Structure 1
Amino acid sequence: MLPIEEVFPKLVKQLEHHETVLLQAPPGAGKSTWLPLNLMKSGQYQRIVMLEPRRLAARNIARYLASQIGEPLGQSIGLRIRQEVKVSAQTRLEIVTEGMLTRMIQQDPELTGIDLLIFDEFHERSLSADTALAFALETQAALRDDLKILVMSATLDSERYQAFLQCPIICSEGRSFPITHKYVPLKDESQWLMQIAPVVRQAIQEESGSILVFLPGQKEIRQVANTLHSAFEGEPSIHIAALFGEQDKSAQQAAIAPAPIGGRKIVLTTNVAETSLTIEGIRIVIDSGKRRAAVFNLKTGVTELKTVSISRASAVQRAGRAGRIASGVVYRLGSQALFERRDAHDKPDILSSDISGLVLESKVWGTQVSELPLLDMPSEAQLKQAQQLLMNLEALDNQGKLQPLGQQMQRLGSEPRFAHMLLKVKSLETELPGITLLACYFMALQDSRVKSVPELSLALGQMHHNAPAAFTKQLKYWCKRADISHQSDDLAVEHLAVVVALAYPDRLAKKRGNGFVLANGAGVNAHSEFWQSAPYLAIAELGGHQGQSIFSATAFEPDELADILPYLFSQKTVCEFDQKQAQFLHQDRVYLGQWIFSAKPSKSPLDEVARTQAWCSIITENGLSIFTGYSDCAQFMIRMQLAAKYYPEEFPASREEDLTAELSQWLEPFLSEVKQFSQLKKLDLKNALLTRLDWQKQQRLNALLPERIAVPSGSQIRVQYQLAGPARLAVKMQEVFGMLQSPLLCEGNVPVLMELLSPAQRPLQLTQDLAHFWQSSYKEVQKEMKGRYPKHYWPDDPATAQATNKVKSRM
């Protein structure tokens, strides 16, 4: 009996009385197989759709469920994943993945005929799952109050999820097979991969059964596989297999199958085997503690794959694979203390991904991302970057409004870049014969991830003449989607720059120094072997450190694109002052993204407004220190900032960034007659700053924070203000005899630190309490000063003595 069977009656009852239910069940409880099948058999639901985050798991679950009821896949049990759809009118339980559920809701917001949505392994928090759940919740709230939603996982952040969904939670136990945990401390964390094979050999000796080894990616799988093949070369009972998402189905099934009778299996896998997948015979897990994470670089617009440590929740999932069929053991690389310091949960995709697809989906849905019921909200920077990309792809206009092409891109179901490319090449086929097939070749190369040379034209040529099976499979898929034949004698590589530009308009690059600048303004490094003299590159793939290495590209000339893709270019008349040339540049420019494609002297006259704006740009870029009078204004600016700090309702914000942001309000009137840079530098900055305050506020500022303070001798002493801490008053000691308290400025908000000086203007004492100084330390100062400066007045009782700025003979 599976553990899920015990809570099944309670779950059914909760689904009857609540729209949404949360199920927490560890690995092996039967939540992904027994539960959906029995919900279907219960007869309470006309049609159930279950979302699985991984294609491999979705395919295997669907096939397993179909076999359980003795039917071929596509009848009662259906499957809908990329490149494979097996459903029929008889389908009552459909397993879907990736963006399939989102597409179903977009096409039919009422989800006609569907009674129950199941979100399996929701803890993986894929962007597609978050999007689909948000839309499903909106459908449930606005259109289908009878729609049931079941969210389930083995390692839920239960309290947080329950608070978000406002629903009951049901907890099920996992299988009762115990798991022993063994930790393998590492002397050198950077050499973790070298320790995998020794741990495998240790496990072979210490334990029985087959082994599942979790590694970050295919590169590590190949390296460990080579080492193990050598280590077990003379042992035919040891069988080594690999399992990852990009394999063909036959290789995946071979990896999942049990070891031959009398043999043992070592399965090297990525986190594709972490959830919803049972591999026959496994009772040992070796966990590297690593995974490959996609991290989106907002600056370059590139998703980088980084090897990172997994969370504790993921480690629990991996360990659970060892206890599915019998008592098991997990070997964890690293110490237990290091394990316990890991994050509790992995960072969800929505906080670390390109969200252009989500933004487009929300636009088609008729709302903003910020208005969707999302468990985590992406940052403003992510939203801004995504919207700009969609504008570059013609999905949105400059005001962010959805365009007809954007609606077509969403219906196509591919990621926005490739959807745009596929739609546009179809419309360009008459003008550029062969470009559609070329685009399919390009997509197949991207998807198949076969090794190829960095120069795209050479890489596609190689695929055209001698393509591996993985590439051919993807090529057939994309040609089918484009409704063309995948066979052709020629490949129109002369149109390659257009194809790349349609998918990656932000990666059209111009040579700059030792590297290139992208159309989005980011800089990338030049390639060490290719494109050494190319002035322009159409880049398809970037990666490496901070996404600044070029992995695949082709050279191009912007003129090639100007006529075919005019929307990539923008025209602007620019007036700016070039400090190196010490002259104004008044030009009509053509931009490709953020870099200048061409520039020529403008035929329009240089007017006062344009020149003033140019000066403002220089000041904004360089700061107010560009003015020769800046140092003289420093104290005035500090006084204005202090006034704004303590009296924000009376005085405007006056930090330098505030001032430069408001140049048009206070400085532009002083710039109208400035025609030379030398004139600009000599501008009376303080006079301009004073215009921010009317006469009454100027008087108020002088009263609160005066430039000078009168001391008992009659002298007016300048005050030195600072933004943090007391103001400072440097004054000869004789001039403050008879003064018992240090001044308080700004109605007591700004204390004054007295710096008492000798007749030679040298510091003698720092104090904020004159009365205490006169009664204490003064005697020692008096004794020393009488001998050094006998002509000056050093009274015995300075607290009552007459202040003076003269020597004794002239008093």
Structure 2
Amino acid sequence: MLPVEDIYQSLLTTIKNNPMALLQAPPGAGKSTWLPLTLMREGHFKHIVMLEPRRLAARNIAQYLASQQNEKVGESVGLRIRGESKVSPATRLEIVTEGMLTRMLQNDPELSGVDLLIFDEFHERSIAADTALAFALETQAALRDDLTILLMSATLDGERYSEFFDCPIISSEGRSYPIDEVYIPLKDESRWLDDIPAIIKQALNEQAGSALVFLPGQREILRVQQALSDLADQCEVFTLFGEQNKAEQQAAIAPATKGKRKVVLTTNVAETSLTIEGIRIVIDSGKRRAASFNLKTGVTELITQNISRSSAVQRAGRAGRIEPGVVYRLGSKQTFERRNNHDAPDILTSDISQLLLEAKQWGASLEELSLLDVPSKQQIKQATALLKMLEAIDENDKLTPLGSQMLSFGADIRLSHMLIKAQKLQVTMPGIYELAAYLIALLESRITMPADLNLALHSQHTKPHPVFKQQLNYWLSRLQLKAAFELKTQYLALLVAFAFPDRLAKKRGNGYLLANGAGADLSEEFWHNDDYIAIASMGGHKGSRVFAGVAFVPSELEDELGHLFTSQTRCEYDEKTGRFIHQDEVKLGAITVSSQPSKQPLDKAQRTQAWLNLFSKHGFQLFNEQTDNEQLLTRMSLASTLLPESFPTINRDELRAHSQWLAPYLSDIKNLEQLKKFNYGEALKNCFDWQQQSALNELLPLRLTVPSGSNVRITYQLDGPAKLSVRMQEVYGMTSTPLLAQGKLPLLMELLSPAKRPLQLTQDLANFWQTSYRDVQKEMKGRYPKHFWPDNPATSQATNKVKSKM
């Protein structure tokens, strides 16, 4: 009996009475197979759609469930994944991948006929799953109050999710079978891969059954496979990863031949929702290949990193699906316990341009969607800039018809843009559409290739790699094209520019400047002489290493990518020569394509902008020392920090980055000497309105009137208390330390002698009068006998005179 059967009635009652619920059940509990099949068979829902994050798992679950019905996939159990759709009018349970569910929602926001949505393995938290769930929740709230949503995982961050979605949790306790844990400490972390073959052999010697070995990627899989060539004849080694063809994947998943043992080397494609018969040993490297997005370069790089504890639990669970098992973990138990509980969600570490475009198509802003984690402002800014370069949104950030078409294409939006453009140009540029198919096949196959894309494509055209051939056949079939007799590579730079407009680059020193403003470095095998290159593949350290590209001339792109080119007049002050540079320029993003002296006279607006650019470069150090204005800036910064509900954000970095507040005051400044002497106080003050200026003077005054009648200056600092230096006799009669910013900023009182030398520092004047003052009084009476040193200073009259003149 499967564990999920024990809680089935409770779960059924919960999802019948709640719009949403969470199911937390261990690997092998039956949540991905027995549960949806039973819900379908018992007719509790008319049409169920279950999302699986991985194509391999989706296909195998659909085949397994169909076999339980004695049917083929496409009858009562259907399947929708990229390039494969098997559904019919008889389908009542569909297994779909994440992108497919998003397309279903975009095409039919009501999800007509569907009354249960299941998100399996939700802990993986891909952007596509987060997107589909956010849309489904809006559908449920606005259009379909009869739609039920069920989130499922073995390792959900249950309490957080339950609180965020305001829904109940149902938990299934215990595994189907127990799993023993063996930890293998590492002598050298940097050489962890070298230890894997020996651990596999150790596990096979110590345990019965077949083994599943988790490795980060294909490179590590192939290396370990070679190291296992000396295994006993009864041990067969298989590989399993996402880019394999179906036949190879099915061979890896199939039960071992009678009398044989299997060793399956896999990526985390086998981490969830997949059962391989006979597996009772898991060897876990504790590593995975994860996408790491570089905001500066706009490049997503696959890096090897340690998995979280929840992922490790998922992997170990593969060993206990059929019988008791054992997991061998690379590293000590102490190292394992120091890992993060959960992997960081993709939405915080990835390019969100597709999500942003999906939201615009949906008709909502990211802020309006129910997202468990919200992307940063920098992610949104970067994605918005890219979508404009891809013509998916206009200058007003509105979705364009081309943007909608790119989404409906069902591919990466960069590649969709390239294909749509290439198809339109096929009439005037024969062969460009076929070339686009070859280029996509090359990029998606991820095979090793020469740095020059021309050479790489011609090499694959002549002698194709099996993975490239598989990808090419898929795209030729999908685009209804025939294999090209000759590749029209003269259009290659234009195609790369369609897909990667932000990676058009101009030579700069030993590297290149990208159109998005980032820098790029050349790999050792790359050419060094082309002035301009269109980069199709880059990554490496900081995402800035060029791996593959093609040379181009900017004029070749202007007809088809005119929106990337802008004409402008640049005016800057050259500090070396002490003169203004006034140039007419053509820009390709951040790249200057051409520049010549401007034919127009220098006007005040251009000169003002030059001064603003200079201020943005140097900040307030540009001006001569201005103590009063520096104190004003400090007071305004403190006000915005301590009382944000009453004052706008003001600080040096913000004012430097957004310098337009200075513009109205700089139009008559003609040289650098004038600029340095400029009194910026009035401009600074006007960053607050009249009411805020009045409130500033009240809450954080520049001066404080003390009981003697003197108006004493307060010195403010960004870190630490404000300071008031005043002679002690002038604050007699003051019973407590004055409050600043409604008591949110402490005031440090420096009490001085008649000769203005420090006597005492205190933030609690009342306590000082009652305690330490007695010692000060004794000493001061002897040193300054003509001055007034009362026994009760808190009630005495303040003075700024000597005793004889009182």
Query: So what's the TM-score if we normalise by structure 2?
Result: 0.87
Moved more, 742-751 or 68-77: 742-751
Q: Kindly state the Cα deviation for residue 92 of structure 1 after the two structures are TM-superposed.
A: 2.7
**Distance across 2 between alignment mates of 1:252 and 1:702:** 73
Secondary structure at 2:274 match in 1 = coil
SS at match of 1:221: helix
- Find the partner of 2:542 among 546, 550, 555: 546
Counterpart CA distance in 1 for 2:611 and 2:423 is: 48
Q: Does 1:400 pair with 2:394?
A: no
The Cα offsets for residues 650-679 of structure 1, whole Å up to 9 and x where unpaired, read as 9998754465578655x5454333222233
Q: Deviations along 1:436-460, whole A, 9 cap, x unmatched?
A: 1111111001111121111111101
| Map of 2:293 onto structure 1 | 296
Provide the C-alpha distance between the structure 1 equivalents of 2:396 and 2:644, rounded to a whole number of angstroms: 35
Match for residue 498 of structure 1 among 488, 494, 498: 494
**Corresponding position of 2:463:** 466
Residue of structure 1 equivalent to 2:795:
none
For residue 756 of structure 1, report the CA deviation from its aligned partner. 6.6
The structure-2 alpha-carbon separation of the partners of 1:453 and 1:639, relative to structure 1 and needing over 3 Å to count, comes to closer
Q: Is the 8 A contact 2:750 2:760 kept in 1?
A: yes
The alignment status of 1:478 with 2:475, answered yes or no, reads: yes
Give the Å deviation of 1:577.
1.6
Matched, 1:588 2:598: no
Q: How has the CA–CA distance of structure 1 residues 45 and 727 changed in structure 2, closer, same or farther, with 3 Å as cutoff?
A: closer
Please name the residue that 1:21 is paired with.
21
1:347-382 CA-to-partner distances (Å, cap 9, x unmatched) read: 222222212112212212222222122232222222
User: 2:512 matched to 1:516?
Assistant: yes
8 Å Cα contact 1:586-1:601 kept in structure 2: yes
CA contact (8 A) 1:517 1:595 kept: yes
In the alignment, is residue 600 of structure 1 matched against residue 596 of structure 2? Answer: yes
Query: For residues 276-675 of structure 1, what are the structure 2 equivalents within 5 Å?
Result: 276-488=273-485, 490-630=486-626, 634=630, 655-657=651-653, 660=656, 665=661, 667-668=662-663, 670-675=665-670
CA deviation vs aligned residue, 1:303-335 (integer Å, no higher than 9, x gap): 121212211111111111111121111111222
The SS at the match of 1:376 is coil
Compared CA separation, residues 755 and 537, structure 1 to 2 (3 A): farther
Query: Does the 8 Å CA contact 1:643/1:701 hold for their aligned counterparts?
Result: no
- 1:791 is matched with none
* In structure 2, distance between residues paired with 1:39 and 1:652: 55
CA distance in 2, matches of 1:700, 1:118: 55
Separation of aligned partners in 2, 1:519 and 1:112: 44
Superposed CA offset, 1:409-432 (max 9, x none)? 111111211111110111112232
Supply the AA of the counterpart residue of 1:416.
I
Aligned residue number for residue 211 of structure 2: 211
CA contact (8 A) 2:685 2:693 kept: no
Kept in 1, the 8 Å contact 2:185–2:330? The answer is yes
SS in 1 for 2:229: helix
Kept in 2: contact 1:739–1:799 (CA 8 A): no
Q: Distance in 1 between matches of 2:643 and 2:116?
A: 59
CA distance in 1, matches of 2:612, 2:120: 56
Q: Structure 1: how far apart are the matches of 2:124 and 2:722?
A: 54
Cα deviation, residue 720, structure 1: 6.3
In structure 2, distance between residues paired with 1:685 and 1:553: 49
Would you say 1:176 and 2:176 are equivalent positions?
yes
SS at match of 2:329: strand
* Residue deviations 1:772-795 (CA, integer Å, cap 9, x gap): 999758999999xxxxxxxxxx65
Q: Deviations over 1:536-555 (max 9, x none)?
A: 11111111122111111112
Instruction: Give 1:270 deviation, angstroms.
Output: 0.9
In the alignment, is residue 682 of structure 1 matched against residue 677 of structure 2? Answer: yes
**Residue 640 of structure 1: CA displacement?**
6.8
Q: Partner amino acid for 1:545?
A: H
The DSSP-based 3-state class of the residue aligned with 1:623 is helix
Distance of aligned partners of 1:298 and 1:89 in 2 relative to their CA distance in 1, 3 Å threshold: same
Corresponding position of 2:743: none
Judge conservation of contact 1:53–1:98 (CA < 8 Å) in 2: yes
Match of 1:809 in 2: none
Matching residue's letter, 2:376: S
Amino acid paired to 1:679: Q
Deviations 1:138-175 (A, max 9, x none): 22332233333332222222223333443343333455
Matched residues in 1 for 2:619 and 2:693: separation? Answer: 25
Equivalent residue of 2:327, what SS?
strand
Instruction: Tell me, in whole angstroms, the C-alpha distance in 1 between the residues paired with 2:667 and 2:585.
Output: 25
Q: TM-score, normalised by structure 1?
A: 0.87
Q: Is the 8 A contact 1:238 1:263 kept in 2?
A: yes
1:796–1:149 Cα change, 3 Å: closer
Q: Structure 1: how far apart are the matches of 2:52 and 2:180? A: 29
Counterparts of 1:120 and 1:63, CA distance in 2: 17
Partner deviation per Cα, 1:92-138 (whole Å, 9 max, x = no partner): 32221131111122222222333332222122122222222222222
- 1:753 corresponds in structure 2 to 750
| Residue type at the aligned position of 2:340 | D
Quick one: which amino acid aligns to residue 677 of structure 1? L
- 1:39-78, CA deviations, whole angstroms, 9 ceiling, x for partnerless residues? 2222344432221111111111112222222222222322
In the alignment, is the contact (CA less than 8 A) between 2:4 and 2:29 conserved in 1? yes
Of 13-22 and 32-41, more deviation after overlay is shown by 13-22
* Counterparts of residues 112-127 of structure 1 (less than 5 Å): 112-127=112-127
1:6, CA displacement in angstroms?
3.2
Per mean C-alpha deviation after superposition, the further-off stretch among 394-403 and 769-778 is 769-778
In structure 2, what residue type is equivalent to 1:123? Answer: H
Give the conservation status (yes or no) of the 8 Å contact 1:757–1:765.
no
Taking structure 1 as reference, are residues 285 and 687 closer, same or farther at Cα in structure 2, changes over 3 Å only? closer
Match for residue 83 of structure 2? Answer: 83
* Stretch moving more, 456-465 or 160-169: 160-169
Per-residue displacement from partner, 1:751-785 (whole Å, max 9, x unpaired)?
Answer: 44257799xx9x887766999999758999999xx
Q: For residue 690 of structure 1, report the CA deviation from its aligned partner.
A: 7.7
State whether residues 712 and 724 of structure 2, in contact with CA within 8 Å, keep that contact through their aligned partners in structure 1: no
- Pair member with larger Rg: 1
Letter in 1 for 2:502: D
Q: Conserved in 2, the CA contact under 8 Å of 1:742 and 1:754? A: no
In 1, distance between residues paired with 2:781 and 2:219? 81
Instruction: Call closer, same or farther: CA 1:727–1:422 in 2, change over 3 Å.
Output: same
Cα deviation per residue 1:487-513 (whole Å; 9 max; x = unaligned)? 32x111111111011011111112222
Supply the distance in 1 between the matched residues of 2:684 and 2:673 (Cα, whole angstroms). 20
Query: What's the % identity of the aligned pairs?
Result: 52
User: Aligned equivalents of 1:658 and 1:130: distance in 2?
Assistant: 33
Residue pair 2:781, 2:789 contacting (<8 A) in 1 also: no
The residue that corresponds to 2:94 in the other structure is 94
SS of corresponding position for 2:228:
helix
Distance between the aligned counterparts of 1:267 and 1:484, measured in 2? 37
Deviation, 1:193, is 1.9
How much has 1:393 moved relative to structure 2?
0.7
Deviation of 1:608 (Å): 1.5
Task: Say if 1:177 and 1:327, in contact at 8 Å, map to a contact too.
Answer: yes
Other structure's SS at 2:7 match: helix
**Quick one: distance in 2 between partners of 1:329 and 1:677?**
75
Equivalent pairs counted in the alignment come to: 783
1:72 aligned partner:
72
Partners of 2:666 and 2:368 in 1: CA distance: 45
Q: Does 1:250 align with 2:239?
A: no
Alignment of 1:132-143 (within 5 A): 132-143=132-143
Listed as ranges, the gaps of 5+ residues in structure 2 are: 741-745, 791-798
